[in-house]
Amino acid sequence: MRLSPVNLEPKRDTAMRTLIISYDLAQPHRNKHVLAQQIMALGQSWARPLEQTWYVRTESREEQVEAQLANVLDPNDGLLIQAVKEDAVLTNTALRWFRQRRFGLEIGEETNVIAFPTPLALPDDQHELPLAMAS
């Protein structure tokens, strides 16, 4: 009788999921911007509804995300990473989803906003919104 070899490779879970990432930095002036850059690089898209709370759409599991962020966190920083459903209640905030920037890839409307009411297209000769339209 011949036994088949055991597959020691971990199963790859490539399902897209939405994670909520929230943190409390002991010294925010030291690594706040670096942490934000790391979070934005985690998945295909992200949203930041509150100052220290992010949604990220990614194929990575919570443990993988924690491992990626650990190198920019101090020992006294708090971190929460949790898979969430699409439903949410937001009060006094907005939710804009942004795409991961991919250089050399045509996005279409020259924007990385993917789920938010887009502003009216500006005429070619108008580079800014008039003040009356800006508010």
- The residue ranges of DSSP E strands in 4-115, in sequence order, are 17-24, 45-50, 53-58, 78-84, 98-99
CA angle 97, 102, 106 (to 5 degrees): 90
Q: Give residue limits of the domains in the chain.
A: 13-118
DSSP 3-state percent helix, strand, coil across the chain (nearest 5): 20, 20, 60
CB-CB neighbours of 19 under 10 Å: 22
Model pLDDT for residues 4-29, shown as the tens digit of each residue: 454 444 445 668 899 999 999 999 88
Model pLDDT for residues 41-63, shown as the tens digit of each residue: 998 899 998 999 999 999 999 99
Say which CATH architecture domain 13-118 belongs to.
2-Layer Sandwich (3.30)
pTM: 0.63
Beta bridge partners of 105: none
